[in-house]
Amino acid sequence: MKQIVEARKIKKTYGARGNLFTALDEIDLTVQEGEFVGIMGPSGAGKSTLLNVLATIDEPTSGEITIDGFTILNMNEEQLSNFRRDKLGFIFQDYNLLDTLTVKENILLPLALAKIDVIKLEERVEAVAEKFGITAILDKYPYQISGGQKQRTAASRAIVTKPSLLLADEPTGALDSKSATDLLESLKELSEQEQATILMVTHDAYAASYCGRVIFIKDGKLFTELVKGKSSRKEFFQKVLDVLSALGGGTNDII
């Protein structure tokens, strides 16, 4: 099986001498192709920092990161941009859709940026929109659709280029439970049927229970790791809750 993410001893510190804050403390992480991995931990544990570093949006202080065979730390600005465009897909909590573009245009944006041929581009958009069930709203603008629809649009945009790695930062954070379940089902399907590799940061144990593996971080260090294996989603959910209470993130984080 192919290794998509390989991160070694990633360290990230903020601040100047005397007042150093370590957000990530020598974290190692390996993700195989087709895995759906969740990252959990209390607020300030470094989840988002980790995701940003892997997303090439932020730079680690030290360490090594290889994604789909590319060492990303030596790349310059332009190479990184192209890398993000071609290899990565993003889903954010606040959707990050462009208000001036229709749903369809938002989805096809990465393909347009990669200067893909129009006919192929339209085909891809149709296929992806169907998968997420948003074909009917393709010509609407973001402010005309619901939060769930927005997030499914964002997800469509993220996978339309068939990225090597899909990064999701609290994708269900702003959704009601029905919309959240729909999205999570779609992501799970994506990883099972199309071997999509997904890395998802979440606070939500319910969302995490859809993953195949969940990594827990505390104070910038790896705390533990849970693998779903053969257990049912419900059992896995319970296990996640147990770890969370051991982690002591407070009850607020468990909902």
Partner 1 sequence: MTLFDLAKKNIQGNFSNYLVYFVSMVFSIIIYFTFVSLQYNEKIQQSILLSNTMNFLFMASSLLLLLFVAVFILYSNSFFTRNRKREVGLYSLLGLKKKTIGKMLFYENFLMGMLALVVGIIFGTLLSKLFTMILVKLMGSSAEIEFGISIEAIGQTILVFLIIIIITSIQGYRLIYRFKLIELFHAAKKGELTPKVSIGSTVLGLLLLIVSYWLILRSFPEELTEGYILANYGIALVSMVIGTHLFFSSVVISLLKLYKRNKARYYKGTNLIGTSQLLHRIQGNARTFTMIALLSAVTISLFGAAYSGYYGNEKNSFEMVPFSYSHQSKGDEFDDQIESLIQADKEHPITAQVELPIVEVEGQLTFTFSYEVTAMKLVPVKAYNEVVKALQTGKVLSLSEDEAIAIKPRLTEYNSSLFKGEQLHLSDEMHELTFVDMLEGSVLPFDYPDFYIIVSDEFFTEIANDIKPKLYKVYEVEGEKSTAVTSEKINQLVGKEDFQVYPSFYTEYKEGKEGNALTLFIFGFLGLVFLAATGSIIYFKQLTEANETKTSYEILRKIGVNKRAVRNTIQMQTLFVFGLPLTVGIVHSSVILNFISNFISDLIGANVIVPIVTAMAAFIVIYIGYYILTVHTYNKIANK
CB atoms within 10 A of CB 235: 13
Question: In this complex, which beta carbon is closest to partner 1, that of residue 79 or of residue 177?
Answer: 79
Asked if 90 touches partner 1 (CB under 8 A), the answer is yes
Q: Distance between CA 160 and CA 85 in Å, rounded?
A: 11
Asked if 227 touches partner 1 (CB under 8 A), the answer is no
One-letter identity of residue 129: A
Contacts of 236 (CB under 8 A, 6+ apart): 209, 226, 228
DSSP 146: -
Taking CB under 8 A as the criterion, the residue among 85, 188, 221, 233 binding partner 1 is 85
Q: Quick check: 125 and 152 in contact, CB under 8 A?
A: no
Angle CA 152–4–82, to nearest 5: 70
Question: In this complex, which beta carbon is closest to partner 1, that of residue 88 or of residue 240?
Answer: 88
Footprint (CB under 8 A) of partner 1, residues 55-74: 55, 57
Task: Return the residue matching tokens 């570093």.
Answer: 53
Helices marked H in the chain: 47-54, 77-87, 103-113, 118-131, 147-159, 177-194, 205-208, 233-247
Asked if 81 touches partner 1 (CB under 8 A), the answer is yes
Q: Which stretch binds partner 1 (CB under 8 A): 103-111, 129-137, 171-179, 186-194?
A: 103-111
Binding mask 106-125 for partner 1 (x = CB under 8 A): --xxxxxx-x--x--xx---
Q: Distance between CA 228 and CA 210 in Å, rounded?
A: 9
**Least distance (Å) from partner 1 to the CB of residue 76?**
10
**Least distance (Å) from partner 1 to the CB of residue 119?**
9
Give the CA count within 13 Å in the CB-facing half-sphere of 25: 12
DSSP 125: H
Question: In this complex, which beta carbon is closest to partner 1, that of residue 106 or of residue 209?
Answer: 106
**Least distance (Å) from partner 1 to the CB of residue 101?**
5
Asked if 88 touches partner 1 (CB under 8 A), the answer is yes
Taking CB under 8 A as the criterion, the residue among 150, 157, 228, 239 binding partner 1 is 157
Tell me, by CB under 8 A, how many residues bind partner 1: 34
Give the binding site for partner 1 (CB under 8 A).
Answer: 55, 57, 77-78, 80-86, 88, 90, 92, 96-101, 105, 108-113, 115, 118, 121-122, 141, 143, 157
